[in-house]
Structure 1
């Protein structure tokens, strides 16, 4: 760090000019493209929330109980269930 201080002190004025220029140009760019930046931000938030839900479901799957099974077909009825239905 000690060798950096003399360099920065010697070139402080030039560094200040560069930083001011970058700040000024960045401000102009942000002002000119405010709507696009807001759109990109909104899109990013929606995308990240969707990805978060997908990843959450992947790592913590929720078992869904349905009356029909898409791969195995409908559930078979046992004799106990048939006698209950007849009552």
Structure 2
């Protein structure tokens, strides 16, 4: 079963109109832009469709981030240690 915590976080950020510092916002958005499925999403999956829209909405929110400028950016995800 897939964990959708990043998709839920993104939706919460968009719905609340949250402001996020560029140092956090840029790598957060780069995770999606550099995903191999970003350019060819499965639009029939409602979660993917909503996430695609939210990525673009969040990028357009202040401070604005140009998604194309994030292409090729390396982002390292460290999984949290959970007991």
**TM superposition score category, shorter chain reference:** under 0.3
Higher relative contact order structure (alpha carbons within 8 Å, sequence separation ≥ 6): 2
TM-score where L is the length of structure 2: 0.23
Considering only CA atoms, is the larger Rg found in Structure 1 or Structure 2? 1
Structure number with the higher helix fraction is 1
TM-score where L is the length of structure 1: 0.22
Structure number with the higher strand fraction is 1
